[in-house]
């Protein structure tokens, strides 16, 4: 009898713990999460973003990339914003992240928000809003950003190396990486369209020009005329020169990326890989031949999907006072 009573008490305690855990971690993001606690949040963030984008439109691509790189490592928790410490090398110092830019825009937006709503809004949410606003102001796609994320306290260099999709990936690897984050094949091909803006260093694709199979050859999936043009800009071993990912349209958020990929002029191996799968290939051709009939709408939907990866909510994580430092 006493044993049964003890078991009942233990089960009840376990149930309460599980319920508490669900309450603190099971909350979902929602549009207007800060409606009562920081009602002017989106206006403040948009004003700060506009200040920078109006002066340097090319910052839009790095800000979008910053959000992408945050979400693919530990989820959208602002971990990519954290500085390394004496005892820890953070994500931002991982090789794929050394070319990230735009941290100062996030810091400026956070500072402006803190003046009006101290200790309320996470850096992870500010990053998501800035990325959206930067794209919108080009102009480009617009989407409502669900908020309610909290900031993570951990940022590890090696996790960025493992978690981020590589420009050298084939279609099988890309699909596996996206699936591991809960994203579908359509999200993969749609989010790849983000390459319609921005630039890349030569060393991210130069193997396609000079030594594709370690025999001094070129990538047969890359248009020969495009190879010739790229070789004029990128000499062997060049790690500094920047090349437009969407030549002639790299400042415009449009469907032109898919036109280039369809013509075998996608800059990265991962761009060309979209032609190696029936579903991704069909989407590329559809957008290229319909002048991007659904691209802007699709991009917004996939950004919302990406923005839900591994989020911390409820009592998990924290609200950082400064985005580069844990409290």
The catalytic residue positions are 69
Is there a binding annotation on residue 70? Answer: yes
Burial zone of 323 (CB within 10 Å; 0-12 exposed, 13-18 middle, 19+ buried): buried
Is there a binding annotation on residue 289? Answer: no
Q: Which helix (H) or strand (E) holds 200?
A: strand 199-201
Would you tell me the crossing angle of helices 41-53 and 103-116 to the nearest 10 degrees? Answer: 150
Is there a binding annotation on residue 195? Answer: yes
Is there a binding annotation on residue 75? Answer: yes
Residue with tokens 């990866």: 309
Alpha helices by DSSP H, listed for 72-136, are: 103-116, 123-136
Is there a binding annotation on residue 223? Answer: no
Tokens of 126: 């500010």
Is there a binding annotation on residue 254? Answer: yes
Q: Which helix (H) or strand (E) holds 185?
A: helix 185-191
Torsion of CA 119, 125, 126, 128, to 10 degrees: 180
Is there a binding annotation on residue 125? Answer: no
Is there a binding annotation on residue 79? Answer: yes
Is there a binding annotation on residue 269? Answer: no
Is there a binding annotation on residue 270? Answer: no
Q: Which of 22, 119, 57 is nearest to 252 (CA)?
A: 57
Tokens of 255: 């469907």
Which residues are known binding-site members for Ca(2+)? 70, 73, 75, 77, 79, 91, 196, 246, 254
Which residues are known binding-site members for substrate? 165
Which residues are known binding-site members? 70, 73, 75, 77, 79, 91, 165, 195-196, 246, 254
Which residues are known binding-site members for heme b? 195
């Amino acid at each position: 009898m006493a044993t049964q009573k003890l078991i009942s008490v233990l089960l009840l305690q376990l149930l309460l713990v599980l319920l508490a855990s669900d309450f603190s971690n099971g909350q979902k993001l929602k549009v207007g999460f800060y409606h009562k606690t920081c009602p002017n949040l989106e206006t403040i963030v948009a004003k700060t973003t506009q200040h920078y984008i109006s002066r340097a439109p090319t910052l839009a691509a790095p800000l979008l990339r910053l959000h992408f790189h945050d979400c693919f490592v530990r989820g959208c928790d602002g971990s990519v914003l954290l500085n390394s410490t004496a005892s820890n090398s953070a994500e931002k110092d991982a090789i794929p992240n050394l070319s990230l830019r735009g941290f100062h825009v996030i810091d400026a937006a956070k500072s402006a928000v803190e003046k009006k709503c101290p200790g309320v809004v996470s850096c992870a949410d500010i990053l998501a809003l800035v990325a959206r606003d930067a794209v919108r102001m080009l102009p480009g796609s617009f989407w409502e950003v669900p908020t309610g994320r909290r900031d993570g306290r951990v940022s590890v260099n090696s996790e960025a190396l493992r978690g981020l999709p590589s420009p050298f990936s084939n279609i099988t690897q890309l699909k596996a990486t996206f699936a591991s984050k809960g994203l579908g094949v359509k999200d993969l091909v749609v989010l790849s369209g983000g390459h319609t803006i921005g630039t890349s260093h030569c060393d991210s694709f130069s193997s396609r020009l000079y030594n594709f199979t370690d025999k001094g050859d070129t990538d047969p999936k890359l248009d020969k005329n495009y190879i010739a043009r790229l070789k004029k800009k990128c000499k062997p071993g060049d790690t500094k020169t920047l090349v437009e990912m969407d030549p002639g349209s790299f400042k415009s958020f449009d469907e032109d990326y898919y036109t280039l990929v369809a013509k075998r002029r996608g800059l990265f191996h991962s761009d060309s890989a979209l032609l190696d799968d029936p579903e991704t290939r069909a989407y590329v051709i559809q957008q290229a031949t319909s002048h991007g009939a659904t691209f802007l709408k699709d991009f917004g939907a996939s950004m919302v999907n990406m923005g839900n990866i591994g989020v911390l909510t409820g009592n998990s994580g924290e609200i950082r006072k400064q985005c580069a430092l844990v409290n």
